[in-house]
Amino acid sequence: MSEIYNIVDKKKLDVVKKPIKEAHGLPNECYTSKEYTLIERKKLFEDKWVVIGVASCLPNIGDFKPFDLLGIPLLLVRNKKNKIKVFHNICSHRGSKLVTEFCKNKNIIRCPYHSWSYNLDGDLIATPHIGGMNKHRSPGFKNSKSNLKEIKSHVWLDLIIVNINNNQIPFEKYIKPLDRRWSKFWPIKDRKLIRHSNDFGYFKLEAKCNWKFAIENYCESYHLPWVHPGLNSYSKIEDHYHIQGLPNRFAGQGTTVYSPRLKGKEKFPCFPNWPKDKENIAEKSVETEEKESEKTEGLTDAQRSSAEAVANFLNEDISRYDKFYDYPPSRSKFRAIKAAVKGATAQKQVLLGRISQIELPLFQEVAGFLKSSIVADEKSQKIMPTTLPSARQTFALTSRLKAEGKQESQLLGKITIALGK
């Protein structure tokens, strides 16, 4: 911080950190000083995890594209293992920029200057004439020491997130508070359905201001009645709340009411396992969330072990019947589903015996679900293939299993929170 105090008076910055009733915003220098901007760039965009794109913009193996992060040339690549990698977009030879536009279905990354070439994992594989004309190797030169410089990266919810200086905490630990918060109403199973539109969510916003002004505008709703009266008519200023902490890694705002006005019977699509009671109000007040969070903490080792067993079962059971949903109804399909249900019933009975004596509300809720599910499973086993037409039997059974899957997704979210994951 000492380098910042050479630019901004320490007293001005100390006021920013005071309780909200006494605090002021950032001093002017934080928006106008070039020296401060350089320090800010390193501390925020190079030392921290930063989103630079979306994985779906590289749909095929061998796709790669350049990206400029505040003057730092980066290269996004989908390799042979269908994984996203990020490199400095600089040739290890003479520092020439490797790629200037999107490339599709390539096997190598070739430098336009001296034709040094790299595979999709950044390994240097070709150095034409390095030892003289038609001598493509040179004594003492090791290709492995001149591979592309890879940047620490992670793909989360289709977002490509990087840590330029490779000095931040592991991504899983970094994102855990936000992931935990969202898991309460966004089942893990549904997150796999995320796809970006054809423009991949990219847009360029040119603003004649310091970048922080633009971000701060999106983090407050105070201006809605005057600047966005239409929006304020159904998502009012008083319906918004601040998102902060988590812990000091994420900030913004949310609204407790989501009720878009569409014509007739039109409605926005919703994730299939999104809880019905959260279609219009996703989050509760911060105070309520904190109280509920306190109730889930402090599991004993035995309770934690049981909670992990529940989570493992729910994860397995949620996707157990997916392969049956798309096939046309038939008698053989009905028999196959019954066999899968029979196996699941045995697992439910073992799990129920394990958790039924744990008096915590969450375990009792899971036990209640298991009991009713076991009863329904046993009824399914008594239905003979000849009782009803196979199409009606199959539809009735799969409908019940899909409904249970939604319940299981909600329970899994709660268990995940209790485990602190």
CATH number for the domain including 128? 2.102.10.10
User: 263 and 365, same structural domain?
Assistant: no
**pLDDT tens by residue, the chain, 421 residues:** 678 888 999 899 889 888 878 888 899 999 999 999 999 988 888 999 999 999 988 999 999 999 999 889 999 999 999 999 999 999 999 999 999 999 998 999 999 999 999 999 999 999 998 878 888 788 888 999 999 999 999 999 889 999 999 888 889 988 888 888 777 777 778 887 887 776 666 777 788 899 899 888 888 888 989 998 887 877 788 888 877 666 667 777 877 776 666 677 777 777 888 777 676 666 654 444 544 444 444 678 788 888 889 988 988 888 787 777 666 666 777 778 888 888 889 999 999 999 988 888 888 889 999 998 998 888 877 765 555 456 777 777 778 888 888 888 888 888 887 776 5
Tell me if 380 is assigned to some domain. yes
Residue 13 belongs to a domain = yes
Tell me how far apart the alpha carbons of residues 351 and 360 are, in angstroms, rounded to a whole number: 15
Pick from 247, 74, 221: nearest CA to 149: 74
Domain that holds residue 97: 52-168
Backbone angles phi, psi at 119, to 5 degrees: -85, -175
pTM of the predicted protein model: 0.64
Q: Which of 249, 268, 292 is the last residue of a domain?
A: 292
Domain membership of residue 204 (yes or no) is no
Whether 340 and 392 have beta carbons less than 8 Å apart is answered as: no
How many whole angstroms separate alpha carbon 57 and alpha carbon 54?
Answer: 6
Where do we find the tokens 């997916």? 322
Both 39 and 60 in one domain: the answer is no
Residue 62 to residue 403: CA distance in whole angstroms:
40
In a shared domain, residues 274 and 324? no
The span from the CA of 64 to the CA of 75, in Å, is: 7
323 and 379 in a single domain? The answer is yes
Same domain, 156 and 245: no
Q: Assess if residue 286 is contained within a domain.
A: yes
- Distance between CA atoms of 284 and 286, rounded to whole angstroms? 6
Q: Where are the alpha helices (DSSP H) in 208-270?
A: 211-218, 224-227, 229-232
Is 411 in the same domain as 304? Answer: yes
Residues 66 and 39 in one domain: no
Q: Could you write out the DSSP letters of every residue in 391-409?
A: HHHHHHHHHHHHHHHHHHH
Query: β-pairing, 150-156 with 84-88?
Result: antiparallel
Whether residues 373 and 390 fall in one domain: yes
Q: Is residue 184 part of a domain?
A: no
Is 284 strand, coil or helix? coil
Structure tokens at 263: 């014509």
In terms of domains, do 123 and 66 share one? yes
Q: Please state, as a whole number, how many other Cβ atoms lie within 10 Å of the Cβ of residue 87.
A: 23
Residues 409 and 328 in one domain: yes
Q: How many Cβ atoms are within 10 Å of 399's Cβ, its own excluded? A: 10
- Inside any domain, residue 199: no
Of 292, 314, 346, the domain-final residue: 292
| Closest alpha carbon to 95 in 138, 155, 146, 137 | 146
276 CB-near residues (< 8 Å, 6+ apart): none
Whether 192 is covered by a domain: the verdict is no
For the chain, how many helices (H) and strands (E)? 15, 11
Among 133, 168, 203, where does a domain finish?
Answer: 168
304 with 233, same domain? no
Q: How many domains does the chain contain in total? A: 4
- Determine, yes or no, domain membership for 173: no
Please indicate, yes or no, whether residues 250 and 350 belong to a single structural domain of this protein.
no
